[in-house]
Every structure is written in structure tokens, then in C-alpha cells.
Amino acid sequence: MARPDVELSLAVSRNAFGVGTGSEIARKYYLPLLSQTFSTRVLVPSEVIEFGQPVYEINWGVTWNDKIVALFQAQDDGDGWLAVHANVPRHTIHPTVTYLYARQFADRLLELGAVGLKAEIEVKNRAAIRVAKAAGFVEQTRNDEWVVLTRLPNG
């Protein structure tokens, strides 16, 4: 699958940060960001390595003030399905913003012709499971260590 030329941006609204919910974390960490715009772009291999992740076929970064704050990746597993990965360091962006970008990334991959998407996530990583479900993934199997979630083009 060819690397998509993903040039998308998302202006983050006040509600995306949970402002008004009484969350001290949201006020402390995210209020200063409210007037800013996040942007996305395809990352070059050196940026992915600098972010601390291996390079995949598709490396899509979310940036704020020219700093990479999240990395979404995909790799063809050989049968048209793409294995997807989300790498978002704690407290860099609010979970709601992460959900929006994960959904946008998954939608775009399917628009570009992926047969389907799958994510294998450790059971103990509940935050990643929530992100995948927010992006439209559905749990298929689970054992003591791993959860496998998938998303189809019409799903």
C-alpha cells in the first residue's frame, strides 16, 4: 500500500478538553492549548526514530508547535489488512483529542483502500483499548494477555 499523503488538521474545541467538568488536570495541562491548532503529517523515518518508535510503512504524526505529540502507524500484514499502532505519551494530549485523531487515522486508511484494520493490544493497556474502541474498532478475541480488535470499511 502506498504511503498516504495525509495533510489534515483539527482545531480543538473547548469541549474536547473537558473544560467545565471540574477536572484539575484538564485545567492545568490543557487550558493553555485551547487556542492552538494541532496538525498532522506523514513523518520521515528519522522523526519516528527520534520519537522512540520503529519505522512502519505508514507513520502519521500529530504535531503541536512543531513538536510531535502523537504517532499513529500502520503496516500491511500481507493480506490487505493493516496492523495499526498508536503511540501517545501520557499527558501530552487529552484522551478525547487522541480519540479524534485515532478515528481520523482509521477512517483515512480505510478510505485509501485497506481491506480492514486490526490492533493487538495488551489487556493491561486499558487506555489503548479505549482509544481503539473510540476509533471504531470492535473486540474480536481476548485471552489473558492480548485483545484483538478489528475495524472494517463499513464499520
Number of domains in the chain: 1
- Examine the pLDDT at 138 and tell me if it is beyond 60: yes
DSSP 8-class letter at 16: G
Q: What is the model's pLDDT at position 109?
A: 93
User: Does residue 136 sit within a domain?
Assistant: no
User: Does residue 3 sit within a domain?
Assistant: no
Q: What is the model's pLDDT at position 91?
A: 82
4-59: per-residue pLDDT in tens? 333 333 333 333 444 444 455 555 655 555 546 788 899 999 999 999 999 999 99
User: Does residue 59 sit within a domain?
Assistant: yes
User: Does residue 135 sit within a domain?
Assistant: no
User: Does residue 155 sit within a domain?
Assistant: no
User: Does residue 45 sit within a domain?
Assistant: yes
Q: Which residues contact 13 (CB under 8 A, 6 or more apart)?
A: none
Task: Report which of 48, 30, 27, 34 is spatially closest to residue 92, judged by C-alpha positions.
Answer: 30
User: Does residue 139 sit within a domain?
Assistant: no
69-109: per-residue pLDDT in tens? 999 999 998 877 999 999 999 888 888 888 889 999 999 99
User: Does residue 22 sit within a domain?
Assistant: yes
Question: pTM to 2 decimals?
Answer: 0.74
Q: What is the model's pLDDT at position 14?
A: 36
Q: What is the span of the domain harbouring residue 77?
A: 9-116
